[in-house]
Structure 1
Amino acid sequence: MLARRVITLGVAALVLSGCTSLTDPDGQQVLSSPTTNNAGAPGFTDPSLLRVPGLSWASGEGLPEYQIHRVTLDQAREAVRDRDYTEVSTTEKLVTTGTLLIPFGLDETGTLAGFTGQQSDHPIDAVLFSGATGVGRYTDGKLARFTEHGKNFLPPETAIGLGSVGPEGTVWSEPDEDWQSGRWRILWVPHGQSEVRVLASSADVQDPTQQPPTYYGASTPVFSNGRVFWHASFHAEDSALIVPKLLSVAFDEPGHVRIEDAEGFDPVPVGSEILYVGTQRPAPGSEPAALGAPVPAQIAVLDASGTARSLVELSPEAPPANQIMNLGAQQGIVSFTYLGDFYIANTLTGKVIALPMPSGTGVANVVHCDQRVSFRFSDGGHAAASARYVYDVASESLLVVQDPNFTGGAQCAGDLISWSVAKQLDGHSRQWDVMTRWKR
């Protein structure tokens, strides 16, 4: 049976030079613009500014001055149904046919795309789904499968990786069932169509005489500028290191994979540019033999010309063994974790909030849509995720939705947020998604 294997790497910290503003496809600035700081804006943030050791933000003409404010989770207000949000639909009808959908993407029309399989009595969460048998989309109460086990480029020896949704359609990765082989493919279904197309495979870029490394795990392919971007691991040409590199391919040139001049992983599209977790190679003689890999060192930006620069990076003040992790972004809002805090940065104004993560947990299932960031906290196990937070950057409000049936999974697009729930029905564990529309 197919297995969805997700390897999440705690990595992030970046180092590049030359900072300019992110731009959207129309040429307007998205990630940074000259502005006065709004530290006095209404909201509940502490007016005293935090000085965080080890974080160095991009600075220069036309860029905001970043100021960090402390926010605590006990300041969150309980979200009220029908006042803060309304429930608009669910995928619960799939339960009657024994069908399971684990979404990996949502668009602003309310269409969910994700992995399909069978409902199971075994605990299911959004991190590991060991029964994926296909990929499809759910819209207007109907599930349409793009591909199924043994059909349309999904042979038994292939697993289903991660995916995303955009105006260009649906894209996902298929790592080999034996993930240690390092082999993978990138598949795409154009918007409004159902034919699966192979855009790229590891054979397009890997040395056939070497086994591809797998240290940086599975990648989520994303759309940007008529291309699909993702990351893969490579053997370094001049050392024993394993390095992650960004790759891309144009829709109209399948198989012609471009290796970007950017060492890093987890690309995220922002306007016409790509944010990613950049890595830094260790100094000669100090290579980490146990891992054989560079360390995450920054959040970097790759512009449409292929030039990389830093947004935020670790400085020499950073405590040893700390990293910037869990990159998320949309428009001018960027989120990450560092030193036990979850940061949400408005790169248009320079205002940053820092939320302390509960002891023994990390942030998980972070989704961005417009000015909202939704997230939960996880202890790294499979414990129920009963609280989901929603931070609205525009209003500086932190809300929390409590539900003991949450599995942890969530998607976000426009003013829509969907989350996964699991309940006992007729003595069996069943899972589905609930779509909600949020109000300003």
Structure 2
Amino acid sequence: MSDLFAAAGLEKDAPRPLADRMRPKNLSEVVGQDHLLGPEGALTRLLRANSLGSLIFWGPPGTGKTTVARLLAHETTYVFVQLSAIFSGVADLKKAFEAARARRLAGQGTLLFVDEIHRFNRAQQDSFLPYVEDGSVILIGATTENPSFELNAALLSRARVMTFKSLDEEAIRKLLARAENVEGKPLPVDADAREALIAMADGDGRAALTLAEELWRAAEPGETFDRRKLAEVVQRRAPIYDKAQEGHYNLISALHKCVRGSDPDAALYYFARMLDAGEDPLFLARRIVRMAVEDIGLADPQALVVANAAKDAYDFLGSPEGELALAQAVVYVATAPKSNANYNAYKAAQRLAKEHGSLMPPKIILNAPTKLMQREGYGEGYQYDHDAPDAFSGQNYWPESLGRKKLYRPVERGFEREIGKRLEYWERLRRERGDAS
């Protein structure tokens, strides 16, 4: 399209977004991806060795995936062809593949860039394979989603994944400085507002330049925005977060591990991040209950009570007051003593049940409602624990062929320390009464 504008002599008059005007002309101008494009970066090494193969560019929006793909074609002799999985179908793919194969026969390579490649279905992704294998195309697919989940294993095995990182604050600062040079004027913000603007970009270079452009449009001559005015002029960009995709799982994983690691401050941070991004508070409430039973268990039995109470409080109060109850539960479970002893015991019991099938319990703990069962010895010899010394008979309740097993091993933390003492006491009584089998 830009070539058509140029041919008509209209390109200079056509309005172009700042982000488009500032698109890097060579790889050295790309910011924030030194691990790929620095002197010893992964892509730099491939270009230096002249061994560019099919690649998957994986990373958040605005990190330079499309730009780098274009520039790679300029660094080589390949013809650059771009498709978008959003707008392209089977016919477009077939046309691109046939043209690429014709170029290959003429001695010309094709670099086929497919944006949002994860949006192609499995069959469409498979259609790339023969053309990648015979060298008709060097495929570069760009995706914001985890390739492990969204791309066919066969396609992934034929391409190397290059991970693009969110731009850090220094990279965003460089972009804004370049924008000021391009526009020939400083951003109409004070130092504090500039830092707020960098944070608003959320690691997205395109968003940073778009926000800067909005500021220049909004500012009166000589006007300088502070942080408060900045927030009024530029509506804060929504966090990058899809509740059905990887961002969702990354943050809930982070929250859970912070609780398990007894860091209430980090746990609250990720909890707030998820709420800020629009997560369902009841989903978070369910996960807090899970943390209480999986990572705390009987080290603090109150954790489950608190987690359930927080869920009930949210149901009763609604938003936004109810979120405070959930935040209180987050702090409680993060600061509670930790134990996965019950979790491990349950898993071990599941394995034992599956491995040994339908073993008969010992007859002493079976009821005998019929005379036949009484004659067979059901219930014979059972000792009623309340009548035994210390209210503990110490009888063996395990199937005879299995023998006694130890599944639950309480930790020396919190309330489980007391449980451990009880178990040791009962074990001693069993030994004394001759039934430690």
Q: Same fold (TM over 0.5)?
A: no
Which of the two has greater helix per residue? 2
TM-score, length of structure 2 as denominator length: 0.19
The higher-RCO structure (CA 8 Å, 6+ apart) is 1
TM-score, length of structure 1 as denominator length: 0.19
Which of the two has greater strand per residue? 1
